[in-house]
Structures are given as C-alpha cells and as structure tokens.
Structure 1
Amino acid sequence: MSKLPNVTASIFATMSKMATEYNAINLAQGFPNFDLDEKLVDIVAEVVKKDVHQYLPISGYQPLLTKIATLILDSYQRKVLPETEILVTAGATQALFTTIVALIKTDDEVLILDPSFDNYEAPTLLCNAKAIRVELNDDYSPNWQRIENAITTKTRMLIINSPHNPTGRIWKENDFQSLENLVEKYPNILLLSDEVYEFISFEQIHISVHSRKKLTHRSIIVSSFGKSFHITGWRMGYLVAPEYLTKEIKKVHQYLVFSVNSLAQAAISDYLKVVDVSKLGSFYQEKRDYFRKLLQNSRFELLPCNGTYFQLVSYAAISEEPDVDFCKRLIEEHGVAAIPLSSFYGDGKDQKLIRFCFAKDNATLEEAAKRLCRV
C-alpha cells in the first residue's frame, strides 16, 4: 500500500518532459541556463586536486560552516554557532524534508500557506501528520486571521516562504510583526522559514527570520547555494536552527545522507571568500525587467514580481481553458513551457495564472518572448 497514494509525478517533471518531447523552450522548471561564474569554475579545478574526497562530518565541512556563519552575520547581523546551529544539506529540499521528519509526529498539524511549493506536504504526510492548507490573500500576502483560525491544539509547525515561490512576493515589516505576535501567542508552534531566494530581491528588501530576535529561538531557516549561485544540480543547501532543534534534525540527517558532497562543500567554502551575494538582486532584476519588456506587446498580463526568478502572468484575456490544459497547449502549439499556478494549491484553485522562470540567457528569453507574443 502506498504511503503517498495521491502523489504522482510532479507538475515540474511533467512540463519539463513535455518541453523535451516538443523541443520547447523550458521556462517551467526553476533552473538557470547561463554559464557559471568563472571564479567558481577555477576554484573547482583547484579543489579537485586537494584531499577533499572522503566523508565529511555530519554537520558539514568545518571551513564552510564558518563561512556560512560569517555570511549570516554580514547579511543579517545574527551570530550563529557553526558547530551546533548550522547543518549543510543535499539541497534545500533535503533540508525541508529532514526538518519535518525530525520534528513532526503522528497527528501533528502543519500549516502550509497556499500557493506553496509542493515539497512541504509529502514529508508531513509521511509523518502521519496532517497538512493544513491556508490560502494567502489575493495579493499573496499572509491573511493572519485566516492563519490563526486554522491553529488548533495539534498545530506544531507553520511553514513560510519569502521571497515567495511561485508569486515573487516578499513579506513586509508588518507581516513579520504579525508573525511575532502569533508565535508569542502560541508558544508550541515551530517556524520553518524557506528562504532559498533570500538574495534575489528587487525594489523591496528581503526581511529574513535571521533578523527577528523574537523568532530565531524556535525557527528553522532553510537556504540554498544552488539557487544563489546558479548551481541547482550540485544539490547544496543548508539550514540554521537553535541547537536543541538542530540536534534532532541531525539524527535524521545522518541516516538519510550522513554527509553532503565533499568536493562541492570545499568549492563553495572557497567561493564564499570571493563572491558578493549583494549583487545577485541587481543581476536578476535586469533579467526580470528585460523579460517583462519583451512581453509588453503580448496578451499576457504581468503580475508584480518583487523577488525570486519567477514571473506570474495571467492568460485570462487569451483563453478560458484550465491552466494545466493551457500550459500543455502552450508547449504543443507555441513551443514554450510554463507551470500552472493551480499545482501550488491544495485544492487546485485555478485563476488562469501561469509561472515563467526568467533565469535564462537573453537569447532564450528573446526567443521565448517572440513565441509568447504570437499567442
């Protein structure tokens, strides 16, 4: 008997497979297609010659842990202990999975704010716990009354995501003030903050849970080197949490992966000495602005994008089709792959919205936009 009877192939895999079959431009799955920073390429070439090819400690490569602590201090003015409060993971997905499996028990309830990344619910269900989907406001800001109404004596965790996939929205100061009030009122709730796009924000600054002293003592914050440094295939992420939580998460981590790719950890450790993460926002803002300009004369309506490398658009002026059907036809007839927003909702809510990834080189964006302007 299946433990996940309602789980099938992800919409990301489905659309990417169709994109390959129809030789379409893949703006569906969230991965960049441009070259790596030459500095990182050179570092890998040097690191591979060193003695970094055997198992590393469970927590991670010690120099990398120290560099992460420095990155957090420089970015958010938070001091964390490298040895006990940081865990290097095989991608952010593994960080999320391991955290939920370690901290959620049978019959617990986990609040997930829709639209949401599909990797939150499955580990919750594998714990024999209940995923409670709570819809965000129409502008994708959190509805605090709705969230509080969903809290019961069984609520153990609230999962948040900012900058937000798939909408590109970023939480504001008042959102965090409301979150702090909620957490203070319900002291048994843990906070899992998915911040994999933390360095990809534009006009509005990203506010991290790292910078909220009222929250850090019961928060697990997940980050992604893959997203930040355009190396999604390396599967490199990390999480930060107080020692009493990290200790429990490591118990699962050691039996899941034990330790993470040693070569990648050593390379990123050296790369953090020379890379400036503060420039990532402007880099992707140029991509966003260029893509939006290219779609000016299309029939798609572009929604606001404050962060991430995703652009939501409405096709309501083009078709009344369900969003999944529209995305399939977009691949088959126009050669561009996108993700339907309904796949991010527990109830499959369809608002005639689809998501494009603009983390592509300009030639790819130009050709994709040319095709989309013909729709």
Structure 2
Amino acid sequence: MSSLRRIVEGRTTLFVPSASLTRTEPPTTPFFFNPAASVNRDISIAITEAVGGGGGTFCDSLAGVGARGVRVANELSRRMDVTMVDFNPSALRVAKRNARANSLKRCDFVRSEANTFLFSRFRRDSKFDFVDIDPFGTPVPYMQGAFGATADGGVVSLTSTDTAVLCGVYPEVCRRRYSSVPLKNDFKHETALRILLNACRRIAGMNDIGIEPIAAHSTRHYLRVYARARVGAAQADRSRRQEGFIASCERCGERGSSSLPMVRCDGCGAKILSAGPLWRGPLIDPRIVGAALNVSRIGNLGGGAKALEALLGVEHFPPYSYSVERITSALKVPGVSQSEVMRRLASNGYRVMRQPFEKTGFKTDASYGAVAEAVSAVSRDADVEDAPLQARPT
C-alpha cells in the first residue's frame, strides 16, 4: 500500500497518501485525496448537521479514502449511517482504516462504480437522506443516479471542477455537457452556479423530481451546490418555472434576467448575448445557511464559516451583479470606490451587498439607472473634493 500519513481534519483522524500533502497536484494513483478541499468538506459537515440534525443516511458515492464519509460519521451530533462507495479497492481499504481510526462502527463500504450503485437504490425503501457527488470534472453523468437515489426531501450535494467550462472559457463544451450557453462576464461564477443548478433541475425533472437549492458556493477551483429533492411531477414543473436567461451588456454595463433570451440592451440598445438556460431562482435557503454558519462557528470549521457568512442575504437580490469598473468605463468618468457606491445606494434606500461568488462586484435591488446615477454622484463628489482651492483676490 502507498505510503500514508496521519492528519487531523476537523475532529477526525485520517490516513491519507503522503504524496497528496507534498505535491502541487495531488496524484490520482493509487488513490486520490485533495487536502485543498478541506473547506468543501467543512461546509458539507455544517450543512448536513443543519439540515437533519445529524440523523439519517448518507451516501458518499465517490468516496476515495473516505475523507468526507468518515467525517460525516464522526462529527455530527446524532448518528448518521454512512455508505462509502468506490471502485478502487485500495482506496476502500484506506477508507476502512480511517473508520477504524475513529472507532466508527456504522459505516458500510461498497466496491462499485458510482452510477451502478446509485441506480440500484431507486426503490422507495432504499433511498438515502443525503447523496454526495464529488467527481473530478463534471458531475453531469451522476446527476440522474444521485437524484433518483435520494429520498423525498433529501439533499443532493454536487461538486464541479470543470469551472472553466461553466465560466465561459470553453462555451461549446458547456453547450454539450450542460445544454446551456455560458458567458465570461463580471459575475461568471454566479452564472456558472446557476447553469449547474439548471442541469440538476433538468435531469432530475426527467424522473419527475423537482429541486430546491439550499446552498451554493464558488471556492478556489470548484463550484459546489446543495439541493433538496422534491418528488412529484408538480414539484418538477414548479422547478421548471425557475428556468431562464441572464444578459449583460458589454457596452453600458446593464444587466437583465428573463424567461427568454434577450437580444437588445434595454439601456443603450446594443446587441447583447444571454447566458442560459439557467436557474433564476434562489440559490440558498437562508434558514439552513444560517444554521450551518452557527455549526461552523461552534465547531471551528475553518474557512467554512467565512464562505457561509458571505451567502447570507443573497436571496434578496436578482441573479446578477454590477461592476463599478464597467459602469465608470461606459459613463466615461474616473474610477470610483465600490464601497462608496454601495454606501450611496444604501443611503438611497436600496439593498446592497458584496458579490459573494466573485472577487469584485456588488448585488443590489436598484435598477441599472439608479446604479449608474450612484456611480456618477460618487464621481462628482470625488471631483469636488479633489478640485484645487481658488486663491481669493487681494
């Protein structure tokens, strides 16, 4: 067996490949472990605790060395029966060792390809309360199996590491994999999350299953979404009504959202491109995210608390954000502080928050016209402050 090293992640002891801790890119053989995904797993622990109080059944369908599954079994306040699935027998042996290292007895280990196992659990009496999909690349091939193996009201969690595809670097690949057009815009990670969620909605809907997103985040090199499965044709139809498109004008910075693709900018009349179809509805359940944040703080779950806190309030805003840099360029005024623009909008009675999925940008319920006026006003104020004082005549 490959050289292993003992680490502690959260409150759990794990034996992991030594090479994964020293190389820039963790090796995929003889089995894979990504130490940089610890925040991913921290948030998973917090949300699983917040949703079910820690009770129920959990399937780690691409378990590897069992880092997520063993932590779920070990760190929740109530017992969670965990099934860890992987096709690699060497990885499963390490997963079993990790379970023993934490004195866990309620874990099952299954050597199987993920979809083969998930499709075997479509019977109503054999479904899971939580199903996790954490592949290398796109999760699309596993979506039907994941939602079909999840009980009504249960949660499917998905990771996507093909971020460049969803963010518009490879638009043709996105069309092929996700049946959506991406845009490499100022809020491309939020657009990517919404394309990913709509793929979940579309594929789950094929089996008369609707979805209700409860959390989503963009961290480092991956995207992550959590969604409840709601069984029934009516639930699937309700989810379908959240499908639509987002457009952003490259000329003036206007944004918009519609059930159909937009071709002309409402602000300047320029031709625009739309991203979609994608999920236009809420990305989070604020009650669950708030509870998960408390779990993260109490449990000292590293970067998980920071990522969850950034999501609070995002449900109040439209599915896009604004870029101060783009608007000042369109207005042909000097650059201004984003914080000052946000303060101006707030003082004018609008809601405003920093874009939680991007390094820059802000979200607001103000119209584009109101945002542009706030940018202009801040720019005028800055000009007045910077103007030289005129000497009085003697």
TM-score for both structures, normalised by structure 1: 0.38
Greater length-normalized contact order (CA 8 Å, ≥ 6 residues apart): 1
* Richer in strand (by share): 2
Bigger Cα Rg: 2
